Amino acid sequence: MVDGIQYKPVVTEGAAKQIANSLRTAIVEGHLRANERLPTELELAEKFSVSRPTIREALKRLAAQNLIRSRRGPTGGTFVKQPSQEEVQEELTSSMTVLMSMGSFFFEEINEARFELERLCARLAAERRTDDHLRIMEKEIKAQRGDISDEEFCASDMRFHHALVDASGNAVLQFMIFAVIEALQPVSNMILVRFREKKHIVTQHERIFQALLDRDSEAACGALEEQLFYMRDQYAKLQECRPPLPD
């Protein structure tokens, strides 16, 4: 039997949520480890003094949070899942995108957070970047100078900034900022199509690239700051062109 789960009595209303929270706490605190098998539905139902359907609902909640997985067969059961960074990033990006669309986060705030994080990445990248990082960035700049569609330019822009973040060599920063970049992308694309001048963006990218080539962190941060202000201005133009909301 697995130790570390607090089998507290629960009230009928919201029982599944309370049970899911208890199991989640056990996972977060390390009492239940990755790939460890949970007690059966019947055992959990007896421990929590609830019905098996209530346990199933609790497990569905944990599965939706990517914390558990099920396996059939003689050695099957429900196991603690260790989500990949990509899965967690995708969930974080999705949540940020939804919150921004609902007005909980504003474009200006996320854009500001992105560039503050990217400035930190630029300072580290000036010291830690490799020739491979520079080759990726140079390749994207070359593509951006060519005759490509708006969609292709947006994708190239993302790859350029991903290479900058990768060059920081900091896994935590990479995890955080990739989610932010992805969440901003739909709005950034709208700005690009309607207002942003590609040549202006390419020039900023060239300055960032040259600064990293020279290992000049101040120049890299300066170019990023210019891009931050530029994006703010273009977003303001986008907002001015939108029809007013109905009363």
Are residues 18 and 10 in contact, defined by beta-carbon separation less than 8 angstroms? Answer: yes
User: Could you tell me which CATH number the domain at 15-80 has?
Assistant: 1.10.10.10
Coil, helix or strand for 37? strand
Nearest to 181 by CA among 194, 205, 153, 162: 162
How far apart, in whole angstroms, are the C-alpha atoms of residue 71 and residue 76? 5
Q: Give CA angle at 17 (12, 23), nearest 5°.
A: 115
* Token pair of 38 as six digits: 């949970």
| Residue-wise pLDDT tens digits, 187-222 | 666 666 666 678 888 999 999 999 999 999 999 999
Q: Measured in whole angstroms, how far is the alpha carbon of residue 98 from the centre of its chain?
A: 12
Residue 242 predicted with pLDDT over 70: no
Mean pLDDT, residues 1-29 taken together: 76
What is the domain partition of the chain in residue ranges?
15-80, 86-241
* 2.40.50.100, 3.40.50.2300, 1.20.120.530, 1.10.10.10: CATH of 86-241: 1.20.120.530
How far apart, in whole angstroms, are the C-alpha atoms of residue 169 and residue 167? 5
| Residue-wise pLDDT tens digits, 109-153 | 877 888 888 999 999 999 999 999 999 999 999 999 998 888 898
